[in-house]
Amino acid sequence: MEKGKFITLDGIDGAGKTTQLAVIRDWFEQQNLPVYFTREPGGTIVGEKLRKIMLDKHTHISVMTETLLMFAARQQHLEEIILPNLEKGVHVVSDRFTDATFAYQGAGRGVSLEKIECLERLVQEDFCPDLTILLDVPLSVSLSRIEQTRDKDRFEQENRAFFERVRSAYLTRAANAPSRYVVVNNICDKMEVKTEIEQILTRLFA
Ligand code: TMP
């Protein structure tokens, strides 16, 4: 049996993932392809518990602990959800994956690339997404969307410089591996972005 494809959707906070996830969901439904939607941090019972801890603005977490918790949640996610589904021929779409750790914990918080790459190897070996759709918006758009969030989590409370580093890390990663990433500018016309995402998926499954 052919294995499923692993697709991740990532980007800075406020990049508009929720809207585009709905577009992706509709596309899979129209194509009648088996798919499992999940998210990081989270996706499993343990992962969702870790997510709660990591997003809680009242909990102090050291930068390295946060990084390790992201990978702990990811380990469980891979073992319990991602790999078994792909093995069964079910495609998996994850709202965020390891690119977020490089962007947020790496560029945002200053954890070295070597440490993150070491954890990536430990948890994933050479496993990585077949396709990563990177949603990009100018920083001003991201910040104004975050500003409208009523109860900001630990990450949403970060400052402009933090998000600037996160955004630039995402774009650099995408530029360095163009065969795996597609950068979608998410401030264009809604219908245009929808069509672009549908075309990206159609190409992947052609
Ligand atoms: P969400 O807002 O997309 O649900 O994600 C929750 C937050 O978690 C978001 O601000 C980014 C952050 N995050 C990291 O810092 N590192 C990671 O590895 C992942 C997966 C998410």
Concatenated DSSP letters of the chain: -PPPPEEEEEESTTS-HHHHHHHHHHHHHHHT--EEEEESS-SSHHHHHHHHHHH-TTS---HHHHHHHHHHHHHHHIIIIIHHHHHTT-EEEEES-HHHIIIIIIIIT---HHHHHHHHHHHHTT---SEEEEEE--HHHHHHHHHT-SS--TTTT--HHHHHHHHHHHHHHHHH-TTTEEEEETTS-HHHHHHHHHHHHHHHT-
Atom of ligand 1 minimally distant from the CA of 99: 18
Q: Which of 59, 65, 104 is the best mutation target for the ligand 1 pocket, counting ligand atoms within 8 Å of the beta carbon and taking the most?
A: 104
Per-residue pLDDT for the chain (206 aa), expressed as one digit of tens each?
Answer: 899 999 999 999 999 999 999 999 999 999 999 999 999 999 999 999 999 999 999 999 999 999 999 999 999 999 999 999 999 999 999 999 999 999 999 999 999 999 999 999 999 999 999 999 999 999 999 999 999 998 999 999 999 999 999 999 999 999 999 999 999 999 978 999 999 999 999 999 99
Nearest CA to ligand 1 atom 16: 101
Does this model's pTM top 0.95? My answer is yes
Q: What is the predicted pLDDT for the residue at 75? A: 98
